[in-house]
A and B are shown apart, each in its own frame.
Chain A
């Protein structure tokens, strides 16, 4: 099942999973089909079709308000699509089949499918009333039903990985922004999701703290098995980590492809304009 997609891209740098002839054999872990989202008259996403392969690292770039974050929030079940369907690992996310009819999923169904997804937020959203250790072990303990010892062990291992084993008894308010985001990453990873969403993980950080967080994400990406959706304004980072880059504008995917092509030979005028703003400095 876990086809090393990165290899595919290295052989054929212009391919993405969506037009890969082997698409039929690689069963996507996430499929967005004709997804739209609007708030009243504001159309945030317009008929998005997107497949993400198991283990694939997809970077989402584009101006703010282009719909990148909404795309991730729909998958995390934080917001409901206006129309269209999302499948996760072959299961409908927002819908379920009752007697051959597609109906809106209930909480129980969402709970079952959502377990495959994890998310890291721009503003960390750590639980301020819990120590770092409890932040990370609470969900394994209560959601996965692990014993206290197991949950603790898993949490500590994960905190070691993000370099924060020394802080397990601290509270979030005692950490720097970069440390907080590393805890948030550990908290999401400890659930072992198949897909991880990073919603501008470094946008709320002081410039000097961005590096440590990106390093951690790169290390996770290098491990490989987990699919990642990275919403970012760090173009260097997207280039280094992603197998495929999607450029969003006004609720649509305007252009996509391997990082080399997107950053070196952007086709659409809008992407060229967008990138020129980053290359200036």
Chain B
């Protein structure tokens, strides 16, 4: 039996990993854009960023996904399953991520900005050379959590019939009716996929904080 079903799990795993990676990259950009947007001195930018964050944090990922996949077509926007999945996941994670970005940036001690001003750095130099490198290290653990959250969130896309791991497992189960084995394997595979992410983040964190204490 295993000989037959493992290849389909492999296909599902590839979809899940792809989804996670694409969404992570996009969520990362959204998180920075919205995080900086909320700290902007322009009111319009702040309002835009805040609206995005509040809307996507305040509604469920499940509903967002359905809305993007089933409701958007009514406005004439038809998205491929994969794109709809990546969009829902990254918009959702980006909203949470922006809070990580915003809170770590404001938690860099004020004296750092003052020292940068005293050295006559431009606002962009202050951010790039002094604030961001320190904020990034603080962001990493939280971003690590977020990526794991997102990996697990990808299971939801099976509901729009995207053939990820969970989808494969449900389909297999309905044909061979061995839920214990199939869902145990599913658990293990998710765990195995999440490991490199956790390890990777920890490694980067370690590298970036070299010499600081």
Contacts and interface: CB of A to CB of B under 8 A. Distances in A.
Interface of A: 76-78, 107, 111, 114-115, 117-119, 121, 123, 125-129, 131, 138-139, 142-143, 170-171, 173-174, 184, 187-188, 191
Most chain A Cβ neighbours within 10 Å, of B114, B121, B213: B114
Interface stretch (B24-32, B48-56, B128-136): B128-136
Nearest to A117: B118
B111 interface: yes
A170 B212 CA distance: 10
Contact of A118 (B111, B118, B208): B118
Contacts of B134: 127-129
Contact of B118 (A119, A129, A131): A119
Interface in B117-140: 117-123, 125, 129-130, 133-134, 137
Interface of B: 109, 111-112, 114-115, 117-123, 125, 129-130, 133-134, 137, 208, 211-213
B211 A131 contact: yes
A76 B119 CA distance: 10
Contacts of A191: 119-120
Contacts of A114: 117, 120
Contact of B120 (A111, A127, A170, A173): A111
A77 B211 CA distance: 32
B114 to A, nearest CB: 5
Contacts of B137: 129
Given A111-B120, A127-B134, 9 more contacts: A76-B114, A107-B123, A118-B118, A127-B129, A129-B212, A142-B121, A142-B129, A173-B213, A187-B115
A121 B116 CA distance: 12
A143 B130 contact: no
Contacts of B125: 142-143
Contact of A127 (B112, B122, B123, B213): B112
A129 B115 contact: no
A191 to B, nearest CB: 6
Contacts of A119: 118
A149 to B, nearest CB: 19
B126 to A, nearest CB: 10
Contacts of A125: 109, 111-112, 114-115
B112 A171 contact: no
Given A127-B130, A173-B211, A174-B211, A78 B114 contact: yes
A143 B114 contact: no
29 contacts: A76-B117, A78-B117, A107-B122, A111-B120, A111-B122, A114-B117, A114-B120, A117-B118, A121-B115, A121-B118, A125-B114, A127-B129, A127-B130, A128-B212, A129-B134, A138-B119, A138-B129, A139-B120, A139-B121, A142-B121, A142-B129, A143-B120, A143-B121, A143-B125, A170-B211, A171-B212, A173-B212, A174-B211, A187-B115
Nearest to A119: B118
A269 B79 CA distance: 81
A192 B121 CA distance: 15
| Most B CB within 10 A of own CB, among A118, A126, A139, A191 | A139
Closest 5 CB pairs of A and B: A125-B115, A171-B211, A139-B119, A125-B111, A119-B118
Nearest to A190: B119
A260 B208 CA distance: 52
A121 B109 CA distance: 13
Given A111-B122, A139-B121, A142-B129, A127 B212 contact: no
A76 B213 CA distance: 30
A78 B112 CA distance: 12
Contacts of B211: 131, 170-171, 173-174
Contacts of B123: 107
Contacts of A76: 114, 117-118
Contacts of B118: 76, 78, 117-119, 121, 188
A131 B137 CA distance: 16
A200 B133 CA distance: 28
B119 A77 contact: no
Nearest to B123: A107
Contacts of B208: 129
A203 to B, nearest CB: 14
Interface centre among A78, A111, A129, A187 (most CB of B within 10 A): A129
